[in-house]
Amino acid sequence: MIYGEILAGGSGTRMGNTEMPKQFLMLGDRPIIIHTIEQFLINQSFSKIVVCCPKEWVSYAEDLLEKYNIDTERVEVTAGGATRNDTIINGCKLIEEKYGLTDKDIIVTHDAVRPFVNQRILDDNIKLAKKYDAVDTVIPATDTIVYSKDGKVITEIPDRKECYQGQTPQTFNIKKLMELFDSLTKKEKEILTDGCKIFSLKGENVGLVDGEVYNIKLTTLYDLKIARAILMGKDEKW
């Protein structure tokens, strides 16, 4: 089976003076997270969609699903974890407990604050997951990437043609992801920033799907302004 997992665990501290997590802020006529959930619901490949958010916001998220007429037969809310990867694993464990797992089950994980993901990106993730146990969505780097170990002087400037900017979705074979996560040391878990790095760290190949420049992550107030402009100018069906 194919599952979706929307990662809504962020606190939104870079969004300025707001107590509400950024995923619940309004974008047009509905919250950012509702835009994202709707993109997943359009895709009939998903049997279930799990929304992981901070424990204290679970009830609020459930109320939003009802308010915006979200199909709760396909979408359910659960509490996230202390880190991004903990949150991903929480969603996987929920699926395992409620529906069981097979060797072919995959999960398409996505940032709640990337509301402009399109169906082509979702479909490409699902297709490539048949070949690789992990799939990442990326766009080519347009700026020169500078690497510095100490933040003071340049250590290396890699070839831009070999560099990409990571986005989401990231898609995984669920059993393989849980197996690799359980094999990590405490130190390894501390340095990991996303699920694909787990596979990379363990020497597993990660397939690449082409993203889109407009598949932006809404992290700051400036990002929110850009998103509002994108929403106003959107003249094609994604």
Tens digits of residue pLDDT in 161-185: 999 999 999 999 999 999 999 998 8
> Looking at per-residue confidence, does 231 or 190 come out higher?
231
Of 16, 23, 20, 80, which is closest to residue 52 (Cα–Cα)? 80
Of 41, 5, 10, 40, which is closest to residue 174 (Cα–Cα)? 5
> Looking at per-residue confidence, does 234 or 112 come out higher?
112
Complete DSSP assignment for 119-160: HHHHHHHHHHTTT-SEEEEEEE--SPP-B-SSSSS--B---G
Extended beta strands in the chain, E state: 2-7, 26-27, 30-31, 48-53, 75-79, 106-111, 134-140, 164-173, 207-210
* Extents of the domains making up the chain: 2-233
Which homologous superfamily does the CATH classification assign to the domain defined by 2-233?
Spore Coat Polysaccharide Biosynthesis Protein SpsA; Chain A (3.90.550.10)
pTM value is: 0.92
How do residues 2-31 score in pLDDT, each as one tens digit?
999 999 976 555 555 567 899 999 999 999
pLDDT of residue 238: 47
